[in-house]
Amino acid sequence: MTRIAVIGLGAMGARMARRLLDAGHELTVYNRTPARAEALVAAGARRADTPKDAAAGAEVVLTMLTDDDVARRVWLDPETGIATSIPEGAVALECSTVTPGWIRSLHDALSARGVALVDAPVAGSRPQAEAGQLIFMVGGPAPTVERVRPILSVMGGAIHHAGDLGAGAWLKLAVNSLFGIQVAALGELLGLLSKAGIPPDKAMAVLGEVPVTSPAAKGIGGLIVAGRHAPLFPIDLVEKDFRYALLAGRDVGAELPAVEAGRRIYARAQEAGHGDANISGVAKLYLA
């Protein structure tokens, strides 16, 4: 049993926390909206009033937050931040989709307190989180990664130690950009085929069977055909991840023309009022 704090109980964080609780770990949870912690508290978790309170006494602190700005407040706020109370010798697990630059900043802040950091963002959605089948992309020193591997294994079906600190963040932005480009292209091409007289359901019946269509794109194609756009991965977050990939690319002098084109497509979807829709909703730009 490990004393773990989970901070950020959105669609993913809450499910990851439940896996840890069911595995017998001593869990403290915090969310800005306290009601989201109620089910976990009923199952045996302790609810904290602030991130600082949640981290006090924890051996591992895991965060699953929206973006760099939220993460910076949650970790570094001088009054309520995790960094004000996380004990020396603890491990910080940043599982949010953030920039490599934020990972570097967080490392600088935590190393002064004797706290090790691992960046461990995930691939997968709610069903994978519930089943403990997330894919972790991990960056950090090998001894620290091995220390938290049993905890990650409760939540994930695969743990890929990709390299030094920040490697997880880099890979996560690449994964989300690759996925977003595929979905944008699929929506655009279904619109083309529809105008050519091939309805989306018939088009996907063929496209879903050819090897150039990835399993993920095939799944999204089914949602597009069904008109189901309830947010699993909202367009607002997709556009944010494209922006983060571009920012990170500029830091290392990488050219990312396809990523830039993808960002513009999802920005158009936001401007059209689809920001709250699932990533599949980008197809609304091309299908009536």
Query: What does the alpha-carbon distance between residue 129 and residue 90 come to, in Å, rounded to a whole number?
Result: 24
CA distance 205 to 207: 6
DSSP 195-260: HTT--HHHHHHHHTTSTTS-HHHHHHHHHHHHT----SSBHHHHHHHHHHHHHHHHHHT---HHHH
Q: Could you give the CA distance from residue 195 to residue 186 in angstroms, rounded to a whole number?
A: 14
What DSSP state is assigned to residue 118? E
Cβ–Cβ < 8 Å for 277, 232: no
Q: Sign (positive/negative) of CA torsion 15, 20, 24, 25?
A: negative
Main-chain phi, psi angles of 121, to 5 degrees: -70, 165
Q: Which two tokens stand for residue 20?
A: 């840890």
Cβ 225 vs Cβ 200: under 8 Å: yes
- ∠ CA 234-214-140 to the nearest 5 degrees? 65
Does residue 257 contact residue 281 with C-beta atoms inside 8 Å?
Answer: no
| Catalytic residue numbers, as ranges | 172
Q: Which residue do the tokens 């109980």 mark?
A: 9
CA dist 77 and 90 (Å) reads 19
SS3 content of the chain, % helix, strand, coil (to 5): 55, 15, 30
